[in-house]
Structure 1
Amino acid sequence: MTEEIKTLFENRTEHPLFYVESGSRLWGIASPDSDYDVRGFHLQSKEQYFDFKKHRDLIEIMDGDFDFVSYDIDKMFGLLAKSNPTVFEWIRAHIIYFNNLPNWDKMQTEIIENFDFKALYYHYLSLAKGNINLMETDKKFTYKTAFYCIRGLLSAELATKKIIPELLIDKLFDQFETENEVIKIAKESLEKKKSKTEKEDVELEKKPILLSKIKAYAQELDKNVPEPSNNPEKLKTILRDYSFELKNHYYGKSTKAQQRV
Structure 2
Amino acid sequence: MSTIHESIMYQLRTIESEEQVRILYSCESGSRAWGFPSKDSDYDVRFLYVRRPEAYLSIFEQRDVIERPISDLLDINGWDLRKGLQLFLKSNPPLLEWLQSPIRYEESYTVAERIRALSPQSFSPRSCIYHYLHMARGNNRQYLQGAEVKSKKYFYVLRPILACAWIERYHEAPPLAFSALVDELIPQGTELYGTIQQLLARKMSGDELDLEPRLGVINEYLEQQIAHFEEEASGFGQSEGVPRDVLDELFRSALLEVWGADSRWTR
**Structure 1 and Structure 2 fold alike (TM over 0.5):** yes
Structure 2 vs 1, CA of residues 255 and 220 (structure 1 numbering), >3 Å: closer, same or farther?
same
Structure 2 vs 1, CA of residues 244 and 46 (structure 1 numbering), >3 Å: closer, same or farther?
closer
Partner of 2:59: 52
TM-score in terms of structure 1 length = 0.85
Within the alignment, does 1:247 sit opposite 2:252 as a pair?
Answer: no
Aligned mates of 2:32, 2:87 — CA distance in 1: 23
Structure 2 vs 1, CA of residues 67 and 177 (structure 1 numbering), >3 Å: closer, same or farther?
closer
Partner of 2:175: 166
Q: Is the 8 A contact 1:131 1:145 kept in 2?
A: yes
Partner of 2:37: 30
Partner of 1:10: 17
Residues 214-255 of structure 1 deviation map (CA, whole Å, 9 limit, x = unaligned): 2123223333324224112x3534422211211233455885
Q: Is the 8 A contact 2:123 2:173 kept in 1?
A: no
Where in structure 1 are there 5+ consecutive unaligned residues? Answer: none
Structure 2 vs 1, CA of residues 150 and 192 (structure 1 numbering), >3 Å: closer, same or farther?
same
Aligned equivalent of 1:149, options 154, 157, 161: 157
Residues 193-215 of structure 1 deviation map (CA, whole Å, 9 limit, x = unaligned): 222367x42522x4444323321
Aligned residue for 2:172, secondary structure, equals: coil
What aligned pairs does 1:124-135 form with structure 2 within 5 A after superposition? 124-135=132-143
Where in structure 2 are there 5+ consecutive unaligned residues? Answer: none
Within the alignment, does 1:188 sit opposite 2:198 as a pair?
Answer: yes
Aligned mates of 2:164, 2:219 — CA distance in 1: 18
Root-mean-square deviation (Å):
2.6
Aligned mates of 1:172, 1:250 — CA distance in 2: 37
Aligned equivalent of 2:84, options 70, 76, 96: 76
Aligned equivalent of 1:67, options 75, 86, 93: 75
Aligned residue for 1:38, secondary structure, equals: strand
Aligned equivalent of 2:122, options 114, 119, 139: 114
TM-score in terms of structure 2 length = 0.83
Percent sequence identity over aligned pairs: 24
Instruction: Tell me the CA shift for residue 41 of structure 1.
Output: 1.1
Instruction: Tell me the CA shift for residue 74 of structure 1.
Output: 0.9
> 2:30 is aligned with what amino acid?
G
Structure 2 vs 1, CA of residues 11 and 115 (structure 1 numbering), >3 Å: closer, same or farther?
same
Residues 13-50 of structure 1 deviation map (CA, whole Å, 9 limit, x = unaligned): 11111111000000011111111000121001244233
> 2:9 is aligned with what amino acid?
E
Partner of 1:40: 47
